[in-house]
Amino acid sequence: MIYQQPLPSPYPTLDDAELTSRIVAAKAKLGDSVVILTHHYQRPEIVALGDMRGDSLKLAQFAAAQEKSKYIVYCGVHFMAESADILKRGQQVVVLPDLGAGCDMADMADADDVELAWDELVSVLGHESIMPVTYINSTAALKAFVGKKGGVVCTSSNAENIVRWSLEQRQAIFFFPDQHLGRNTCKRLGYTPESMLLWKPGVPLGGQAPERIRDSRIFLWEGHCPVHAMFTLKQISALRAQDSAIKIITHPECPMEVVDESDAVGSTEFIVKTIAESPAGSKWAVGTEMNLVNRIAKENPDKTVVSLNRFMCLCGTMNRIDLAHLAWALESIVSGHPENVITVGEPERSLARASLDRMLTMS
Ligand code: 13P
Ligand code: SF4
């Protein structure tokens, strides 16, 4: 996690009403020169002040196409702001209101560790036989490594297409950092869980025997999302026992046994749309972050929408972006000295861009 210095006075002492009016005033001063992007997991008061909300793919596509605004204030996590900086068209400045808003899963795949693992895998399978695929929830350094090796980025919206394509190009794939998205996606494509090898970082050959490596096509980095790890099969059984009409909808970062038992699985945008388009009276238990579940419940008063885990599953890092940080970030832009500017330098930028571009052309 990158350190965020404490906010200067007076931001920590201002109440929500004061902070909101300062944000509205800063936005009015900046006009079209600023656009505020909000991920679906953001706090409700932040989403209310944003110009656009979406999942990782939608927001990345927006950043890649956006020409009007000089400043992109990204209310999301660090890898998302980095991706926006890599994909931006011109001289835009990308700002992340709190530098501590990282992603625990992205932090589980350090690019140097991946490079060591890659060399080991190549020593068994040979060069040119493995396609590296990284989930967008990864650092720019890892995207750059993947880009250098001719690999590709995916999101939860397009993982199936990207993985299918990757397995058509090369004999095997090495998927980072989310073992669950990798496993769930490959299973959907017809591969058995037993045929996929889990690669333990820091362990020689990832803890696998060379013979098994030679026989395998799918290697999954041992990373996961701590928020989605909180959903279990037991929760599904308990809810279904209470009400057989309830439908389970989950994010593909959930463990395989949870995804296998779900009625629908997809990205945050997919979850929003699926519930919005379901008939009045439908009942849903949702396996994803709590801010989003609460918002869906509010926006669909004609349906029953609850969390699959009745004990809150908030993404603590997403939640670091609050009114005080947003007000501070916007006012720093108004003052002409933007704070928390996210910049990916060369050669990382061009290499990471190659892996992101491959994804965008296939999305
Ligand atoms: P989405 O791309 O589905 O929004 O997922 C991002 C994420 O971080 C989920 O934990
Ligand atoms: Fe990362 Fe999980 Fe938070 Fe998504 S919910 S940003 S994967 S820690």
SS (H, E, C) 219-259: EEECECCCCHHHCCHHHHHHHHHHCCCCEEEECCCCCHHHH
Q: Do 261 and 204 belong together in one domain?
A: no
78 in a structural domain = yes
Q: Do 219 and 254 belong together in one domain?
A: no
Q: What's the chain's average pLDDT? A: 96
Above 90 in pLDDT, residue 119?
yes
Distance 146 CA to ligand 2 centre (A): 21
Q: Do 219 and 239 belong together in one domain?
A: no
356 in a structural domain = no
Q: How many CB atoms lie within 10 A of CB 268?
A: 24
Confidence of residue 206 (pLDDT cuts 50, 70, 90): very high
Q: What is the pLDDT of residue 3?
A: 77
Structural domain of 188: 106-224
Q: What is the pLDDT of residue 43?
A: 98
Mean pLDDT for 241-268 is: 98
What percent of the chain lies above the pLDDT cut of 90?
Answer: 94
264 in a structural domain = yes
Query: Per residue in 326-335, pLDDT tens?
Result: 999 999 999 9
Among the atoms of ligand 1, which is closest to the Cα of residue 55? Answer: 4
Q: Is 55 in the pocket of ligand 2 (CB under 6 A)?
A: no
Distance 104 CA to ligand 2 centre (A): 6
Ligand nearest the Cα atom of residue 315: 2
What percent of the chain lies above the pLDDT cut of 70?
Answer: 99
Mean pLDDT for 238-255 is: 98
Distance 267 CA to ligand 1 centre (A): 6
Q: Residue 217 sits in a domain of what CATH number?
A: 3.40.50.10800
Distance 225 CA to ligand 2 centre (A): 6
Distance 125 CA to ligand 2 centre (A): 32
Query: Judging by beta carbons within 10 Å of its beta carbon (0-12, 13-18, 19+), is residue 191 exposed, middle or buried?
Result: middle
Q: Is 138 in the pocket of ligand 1 (CB under 6 A)?
A: no
Q: Do 128 and 155 belong together in one domain?
A: yes
Above 90 in pLDDT, residue 363?
no
Q: Is 36 in the pocket of ligand 1 (CB under 6 A)?
A: no
If one residue of 55, 270, 318 were mutated to test the ligand 1 pocket, choosing by the most ligand atoms within 8 A of its CB, it would be: 55
> What whole-number distance in Å separates Cα of residue 252 and Cα of residue 230?
13
| Residue 269 near residue 296 (C-beta atoms within 8 A) | no
312 in a structural domain = no
If one residue of 156, 291, 317 were mutated to test the ligand 2 pocket, choosing by the most ligand atoms within 8 A of its CB, it would be: 317
Q: What is the pLDDT of residue 1?
A: 53
Which residue owns the Cα nearest ligand 2 atom 2? 225
Query: Per residue in 277-314, pLDDT tens?
Result: 999 999 999 999 999 999 999 999 999 999 999 887 89
The number of domains in the chain is 3
Q: What is the pLDDT of residue 359?
A: 96
Mean pLDDT for 154-175 is: 97
Above 60 in pLDDT, residue 195?
yes
Q: CB neighbours of 244 closer than 8 A, spacing ≥ 6?
A: none
pTM across the whole model: 0.96
Confidence of residue 151 (pLDDT cuts 50, 70, 90): very high
Q: What is the pLDDT of residue 127?
A: 80
